[in-house]
């Protein structure tokens, strides 16, 4: 047991060049032993000891060759210090067994060891001991001090080519293995339908990070006998989008170069042709659950064409054949009615139409996509009550704020007619199929085509020619305040027309309708009975419900108990109306129920 106050002395001894070799064992023993007193462990003194040991470690390791003593020192160094000592050559591959007795391998250790030519092979041998998501960090963290390096510091040596290749192969291996055997992971069948819908997302972020560092090798790697297919997939999915993102980041700097209107492509035509074998994702053709996987493959393929538009001409016949095969195998144009709580239904139909518009040349399939669009529910277009704040902001800047087409876009309800516009632009889409959809569009959708669409002339002319009944308005449910309602001969009838509108059933618009009805002084109990109970009780003017419940339940203990039992409905429960809630407080007699 040493005096805790002497730890700075022992530190200085350890760092002294005059310390004799015979004293090393004693100095190391003092600095590595926990600080104690006659009463036991001394936490405060041990903190001083640790600080002294941390300062002395580099000098002690530089002078100590005995494995046992080095092991005694290494266990006290953290990862950052060990990596720095390995980069300096003080810690070597000979110390790795001692280090790994107390730690797992980490990327910084491998990078630091590989700084020295004689240790590159041993460093590469440690790569399989890293978790797969950490392998790329060996190259990413090659120079951990790159952001705070001083001008006088020695330059970092380049990454050894054999280490770069080993990391590149390790990062490409998971995707290459998946493409050879693209089986769903164990337990995949038990996951939700929504999760299954994402089963075709190709991984390989680390693989792309490595590929991005060697663009000069892309042409060679696309022909690699083992990793060629993985490289092709990554280039098609990542190269153009990443190049555009990097250009945007550079343009965002104060002195950055302006983003060109037509930036040069990241992939040459030669490289695109080299990637054609992977373009249509042939490895995924036989995955189970084709109604989902074929749909996802088609969308993935469409994304690739958006990223690399030149492929639409370079591989037209290949794309058309792939689209036909996917539609047939997945029965993608077989209509299935929308199920309750299937919130992705409309999105799937819209994506399918847009993907076929981009990829297909089959008139029957394109007509089928038009038919599916026609079967979607029309949009619910609601113009909320005027807001003084909103009017003050928008009066002079946006006089068209309330136009039908603008209202449609504000709730993203223009997507159906937008998809139809894209289908109309495909020269293989039958005009009659498009006209059939036009005749059933909401008036606001026709207004959107007139104002926003940039389709072919025949399409714009056909939309303009759709007959509109003389008494038809613009299809917008316009919510007005009580001052305006008071000018109407029957304000209650106006409120009822809002509730009867399809807008009262659409998730984006119904809350606006319910809020307007509940807050109006012209509402009646009959209006409130038609509104979902949670809207009346919790969301809009709860004092309105309070007055009704006080009158309805009165002094009836049974009614109050029934009310408490009935108000346990949750967000996901079936929506009962306020009227159904009130009726449930007076259950019918048993004889009446069975009669």
Query: Quick one: average pLDDT of 148-156?
Result: 76
**pLDDT by residue (tens digit) across 34-58?**
877 767 776 887 788 888 888 888 8
Q: What is the largest CA-CA distance in the chain?
A: 109
| Each residue's pLDDT tens digit, 118-133 | 999 999 999 999 999 9
CA neighbor of 96 nearest in space, from 67, 116, 117, 118: 67
Give the pLDDT confidence score for residue 398 in this predicted structure.
54
Helix (H) or strand (E) holding 409: helix 404-410
Average pLDDT value over all residues in the chain: 84
Mean pLDDT within 546-567:
87
Q: Which of 183, 292, 308 is nearest to 234 (CA)?
A: 308
Cα→Cα distances 429→224, 362, 422, 548, Å: 40, 8, 10, 57
- The confidence score (pLDDT) of residue 509 equals 65
| Cα–Cα dist 492/494, whole Å | 5
- At 538 the pLDDT is 72
Centroid of chain to Cα 150: 38
Q: Residue 592: is its pLDDT beyond 70? A: no
Residue in the structure block whose two tokens are 């240790």: 119
Task: Compute how many other C-beta atoms are within 10 angstroms of the C-beta atom of residue 286.
Answer: 10
**Is the pLDDT score of 198 beyond 50?**
no
User: How does residue 60 score in pLDDT terms, banded at 50, 70 and 90?
Assistant: confident
Top mean-pLDDT range of 54-63, 206-215, 241-250: 206-215
* Greater pLDDT, 511 or 470: 511
Smallest Cα–Cα separation from 330: which of 297, 365, 294? 294
Strand partners, 577: 532
For 266-283, the pLDDT digits (tens) are: 999 999 999 999 999 999
Q: In angstroms, how far is CA 259 from the centroid of its own chain?
A: 26
Q: Using an 8 Å Cβ cutoff, are 455 and 419 in contact?
A: no
The winner for highest mean pLDDT among 191-205, 212-226, 474-488 is 212-226
pLDDT of residue 6: 75
Q: Is the pLDDT of residue 229 over 60?
A: yes
Using DSSP bridges, classify how beta strands 477-478 and 382-383 pair: parallel, antiparallel or unpaired.
parallel
Question: Would you place residue 151 in the very low, low, confident or very high pLDDT band (cuts 50, 70, 90)?
Answer: confident
Q: How far apart are CA 117 and CA 323, in angstroms?
A: 52
pLDDT value at residue 149: 73
Q: What is the mean pLDDT of residues 335-350?
A: 86
Q: Which of 139-143, 341-345, 548-552, 577-581 has the lowest mean pLDDT?
A: 341-345
Q: Which residues of 548-568 are buried (b: 16+ CB within 10 A; e: fewer)?
A: bbeebbeeeeebeebbeeeee
Q: What is the average pLDDT across 370-398?
A: 67
| Residues 76, 82, 86, 92, Cα dihedral to 10° | 40
Q: Go through 417-427 and write b for each residue having 16 or more CB atoms within 10 A of its CB, e for each that does not.
A: bbbbbbbbebe
H helices of 118-212, in order, are 120-125, 137-140, 161-180, 193-196, 205-211
**pLDDT computed for residue 169 by the predictor:** 96
DSSP-assigned beta bridge partners for residue 382? 477
The rounded distance, in Å, linking the Cα atoms of 562 and 572 is 21
pLDDT in tens, 456-509: 999 999 999 998 766 556 677 778 888 888 888 999 998 888 888 776 555 556
Q: pLDDT above 70 covers what percent of the chain?
A: 86
- H helix or E strand, kind and range, residue 477: strand 477-478
**Cα–Cα distance, 576 to 33 (Å, whole number):** 72
Out of 234-248, 305-319, 566-580, least confident range = 566-580
Choose the most confident range, by mean pLDDT, from 98-102, 400-404, 500-504, 562-566: 98-102
* Secondary structure string (H, E, C) spanning 249-292: HHHHCCCCCCCCCCCCCCCCHHHHHHCHHHHCCHHHCCCCCHHH
In whole angstroms, give the CA distance from residue 234 to residue 275. Answer: 10
Q: What is the pLDDT of residue 540?
A: 60
Threshold 0.95, pTM exceeds: no
Residue in the structure block whose two tokens are 């569009």: 441
210 falls in which pLDDT band (50, 70, 90)?
very high
State yes or no: pLDDT of 2 exceeds 70. no
Sign of the CA dihedral running 127, 132, 138, 144 = negative
Give the integer Cα–Cα distance in Å for 90 and 62. 6
Query: What's the rounded mean pLDDT across residues 446-463?
Result: 89
5 vs 315, residue with greater confidence: 315
Cα atoms in the Cβ-side hemisphere of radius 13 Å centred on 585? 20
What are the Cα distances from residue 36, in Å, to 3, 72, 192? 9, 19, 58
Three-state DSSP class for residue 38:
coil
Q: Cβ of 44: how many Cβ atoms within 10 Å?
A: 8
Rounded to whole angstroms, the Cα distance separating 459 from 431 reads 8
């Amino acid at each position: 047991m040493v005096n805790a106050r002497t730890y700075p002395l022992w530190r200085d001894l350890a760092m002294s060049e005059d310390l004799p070799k015979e004293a090393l064992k004693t100095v190391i023993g003092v600095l590595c032993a926990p600080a104690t007193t006659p009463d036991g462990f001394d936490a405060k003194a041990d903190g001083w000891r640790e600080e002294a040991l941390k300062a002395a470690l580099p000098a002690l390791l530089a002078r100590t060759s005995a494995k046992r003593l080095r092991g005694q020192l290494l266990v006290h160094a953290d990862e950052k210090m060990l990596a720095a000592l390995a980069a300096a050559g003080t810690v070597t591959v000979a110390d790795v067994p001692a280090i790994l007795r107390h730690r797992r391998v980490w990327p910084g250790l491998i990078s630091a060891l590989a700084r020295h030519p004689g240790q590159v092979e041993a460093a590469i041998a440690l790569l399989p001991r890293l978790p797969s998501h950490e392998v790329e960090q060996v190259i990413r963290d090659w120079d951990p001090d790159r952001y705070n390096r001083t001008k006088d510091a020695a330059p970092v040596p380049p990454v050894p080519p054999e280490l770069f290749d080993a990391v590149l192969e390790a990062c490409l291996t998971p995707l290459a293995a998946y493409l050879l055997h693209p089986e769903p992971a164990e337990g995949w069948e038990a996951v939700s339908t929504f999760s299954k819908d994402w089963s075709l997302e190709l991984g390989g972020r680390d693989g792309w990070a490595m590929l991005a560092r060697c663009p000069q090798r892309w042409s060679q790697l696309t022909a690699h006998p083992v990793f060629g297919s993985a490289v092709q997939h990554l280039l098609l999915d990542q190269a153009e989008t990443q190049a555009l993102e990097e250009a945007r980041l550079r343009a965002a700097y104060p002195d950055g170069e302006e983003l060109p209107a037509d930036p040069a492509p990241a992939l040459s035509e030669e490289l695109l042709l080299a990637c054609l074998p992977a373009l249509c994702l042939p490895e995924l053709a036989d995955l189970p659950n084709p109604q989902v996987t074929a749909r996802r493959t088609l969308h993935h393929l469409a994304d690739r064409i958006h990223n690399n538009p030149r492929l639409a001409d370079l591989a037209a016949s290949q794309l058309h054949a792939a689209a036909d095969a996917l539609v047939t195998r997945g029965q993608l144009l077989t209509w299935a009615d929308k199920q309750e709580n299937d919130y992705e239904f409309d999105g799937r139909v819209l994506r399918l139409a847009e993907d076929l518009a981009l990829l297909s040349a089959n008139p029957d399939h394109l007509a089928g996509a038009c038919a599916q669009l026609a079967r979607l529910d029309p949009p619910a277009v609601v113009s909320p009550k005027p807001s003084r704040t909103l009017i003050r902001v928008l009066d002079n800047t946006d006089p068209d704020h309330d136009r039908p087409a603008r209202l449609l876009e504000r709730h993203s309800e223009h997507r159906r007619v937008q998809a139809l516009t894209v289908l109309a632009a495909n020269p293989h889409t039958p005009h009659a199929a498009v006209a059939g959809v036009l005749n059933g569009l909401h008036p606001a959708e026709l207004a959107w085509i007139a104002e926003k669409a940039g389709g072919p002339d025949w399409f714009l002319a056909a939309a303009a020619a759709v007959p509109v009944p003389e008494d038809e308005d613009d299809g917008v449910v316009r919510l007005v305040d009580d001052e305006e309602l008071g000018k109407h001969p029957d304000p209650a009838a106006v409120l009822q027309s809002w509730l009867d509108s399809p807008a009262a059933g659409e998730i984006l618009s119904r809350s606006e309708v319910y809020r307007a009805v509940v807050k109006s002084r012209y509402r009646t109990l009959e209006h409130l009975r038609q509104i979902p109970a949670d809207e009346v009780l919790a969301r809009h003017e709860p004092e309105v419900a309070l007055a009704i419940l006080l009158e309805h339940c009165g002094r009836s203990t049974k009614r109050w108990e029934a009310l408490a039992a009935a108000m346990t409905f949750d967000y996901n429960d079936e929506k009962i109306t306020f009227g159904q809630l009130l009726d449930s407080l007076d259950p019918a007699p048993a004889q009446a129920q069975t009669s």
